[in-house]
Amino acid sequence: MGRLKTLYREGLKNRYGALMQTISGVHYNFSLPMAFWQAKCGVEDAESGKEAISAGYFRSIRNYYRFGWVIPYLFGASPAICSSFLQGKPTTLPFEETGNGMYYLPYATSLRLSDLGYTNKSQSNLGITFNDLHEYVAGLKRAIKTPSEEYAKIGLQKDGKYLQINSNILQIENELYAPIRPKRVTRRGETPSDALLRGGIEYIEVRSLDINPFSPIGVDAQQVRFLDLFMVWCALADAPEMSSDELLCTRTNWNRVILEGRKPGLTLGIGCESAQFPLAQVGKDLFRDLRRVAQTLDSIHGGQAYQQVCDELLACFDDPELTFSARILRSMIEEGIGGTGRALADRYRTQLREEPLEILSEDDFIAERDASVARQKKVEAEDSEPFEALLARHA
């Protein structure tokens, strides 16, 4: 299995280029407690209520597709790239260039989420929807069995070395690039989709968060509280079912925010472009709902931390210069990408080296490393299936 995972990464390199694997972001896992589902859906436990719970998480995912653009608007932090990233390839994006080799879009928020980042254009017409667990899994399984003429040109082997697991649109299910995924912890030998069919959706993986350049650990408390607020709202707000066509329509709003989210007067389409509203207005309307959730959470936990987050972030719709992308772009234009990165790296290295461990000790990390190596050896010793047979099952 380790060899298969390594080959999967080799396939990604051959399909999208080695530079693409330098892109990174924050994956934020979110779940709601059983008490929430018991109160909302009347379920008794996870096993008997898995259909209702899964339907509830799909409700959240549909709302995320409709309104999740707010995440790159507020927290997108990749408005620029080094010119070397394009590797001389033509682009239709109207980049501005600085004297130090930086390309940027003046109103962009997250080029990481654009077609320059980890995207797969051949996935856009797969017809995967988020209305029903069985339909979703069927669409996913169909995608990993659909041949790709483009990837077939790469081949499977060269000079005796494997180049990719297969030449299908998706090598494995993990290659489905989406801003959010339904998830369940897998058992040994189990695929992600089989795990979902077995136990239903266990949690949601939010994948639209750029690494926060203003935090030494890449994410801060304000963002965590906002994501909790937003995902709770997504679980509560009305979310009509979405066809695959409407799912593609939501991508239009995402692309607008990703490429020009801070542009004055930018509008978003509601209902597949049937109506246009200013982004600032839609954002403020959303935050009116989020504040109601914040008031409830603050009444439970005490204090006003969640309402404070609403106040702080609401200001970004009146002044886009407060967003992460605007703040980091100012530094990049002045210092360059390299200069900004080095300054932040030096600052955080010093800060983290001077900050003592509070919960885990160095011995805890050493013990976990040793235990991990031992588990790996045990798995490898018990794995008797020939690699070629494993590969054939993923053909």
End-to-end CA, the chain: 15
Identify the pLDDT of residue 120.
Answer: 60
What is the percent of the chain where pLDDT is above 90?
Answer: 75
Q: How confident is the model at residue 118 (pLDDT cuts 50, 70, 90)?
A: low
Identify the pLDDT of residue 254.
Answer: 96
Q: CA 68, CA 54: separation in Å to the nearest integer? A: 19
**pLDDT at 273 > cutoff 70:** no
Identify the pLDDT of residue 122.
Answer: 63
**Summary mean pLDDT of the chain:** 92
CATH class of residue range 2-393 = alpha beta
**pLDDT at 1 > cutoff 90:** no
343 contacts 127 by C-beta, under 8 angstroms? no
Digit-coded pLDDT (tens) for 142-179: 888 999 999 999 999 999 899 999 999 999 998 988 89
| 375 Cβ neighbours under 8 A, 6+ residues apart | none
Burial class (CB in 10 A: 0-12, 13-18, 19+), 98: middle
**pLDDT at 272 > cutoff 80:** no
Handedness of CA 284, 286, 289, 294 (dihedral sign): negative
Could you state, in order of their start, the residue ranges of all structural domains in the chain? 2-393
Q: CA 158, CA 278: separation in Å to the nearest integer? A: 53
Among candidate residues 293, 92, 77, 66, the one with its CA nearest the CA of residue 179? 66
Identify the pLDDT of residue 124.
Answer: 66
Token pair in block for residue 235:
């679980």
Average pLDDT (221-240) is: 97
Least confident of 23-27, 30-34, 65-69, 113-117: 113-117
Cα–Cα distances in Å, from 253 out to 95, 96, 286? Answer: 20, 23, 15
Identify the pLDDT of residue 259.
Answer: 98
**pLDDT at 295 > cutoff 80:** yes
Q: For residue 268, which phi and psi values (nearest 5 degrees)?
A: -120, 150
**pLDDT at 123 > cutoff 80:** no
Digit-coded pLDDT (tens) for 66-105: 999 999 999 999 999 998 888 878 888 999 999 888 999 9
